[in-house]
């Protein structure tokens, strides 16, 4: 890890939150590589020095269209918006397209 990737100690005292979601049950069942890549963010958080890591994966198979409640996600966003104890949110676009041959 380069010095540019190191995070300040004050940040590393916070909780890291890894939010994992796929929009449909079909994606949950068929896009396993996407899920794996999202769960790999836990290792990224550890590599960066976080000790407390929360995984939110309650929303696998739930659309983000706004019609479905996602209370743990909303709580994490609210915490990230607050002052000192805000968690560090790790995110990546982990959408995976699989070709059938």
Supply the pTM of this predicted model: 0.67
Count of CB atoms within 10 A of residue 54's CB? 15
For the segment 10-68, what is each residue's pLDDT rounded down to a tens digit?
888 888 888 888 878 888 888 888 888 889 999 999 998 999 998 888 877 777 676 66
Measured distance between the N- and C-terminal CA atoms of the chain, rounded to whole angstroms: 38
* Contact assessment for residue 57 and residue 20, using Cβ atoms and an 8 Å cutoff: yes
pLDDT for the residue 100: 35
**50 or 78, higher pLDDT:** 50
pLDDT for the residue 87: 56
Distance CA(60)–CA(27), nearest Å, equals: 9
Q: Could you tell me the two tokens for 80?
A: 């990230």
Count of CB atoms within 10 A of residue 39's CB? 14
For the segment 86-95, what is each residue's pLDDT rounded down to a tens digit?
555 555 544 4
């Amino acid at each position: 890890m380069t010095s540019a990737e190191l995070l300040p100690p004050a940040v590393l005292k916070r909780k890291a939150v890894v939010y994992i979601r796929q929009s449909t049950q079909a994606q949950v069942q068929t896009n396993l590589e996407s899920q794996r890549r999202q769960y790999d963010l836990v290792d990224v958080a550890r590599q960066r020095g976080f000790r407390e890591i929360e995984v939110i994966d309650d929303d696998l198979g739930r659309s983000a269209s706004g019609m479905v409640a996602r209370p743990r996600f909303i709580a994490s966003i609210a915490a990230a918006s607050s002052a000192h104890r805000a968690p560090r949110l790790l995110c990546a676009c982990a959408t995976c397209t699989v070709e059938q041959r």
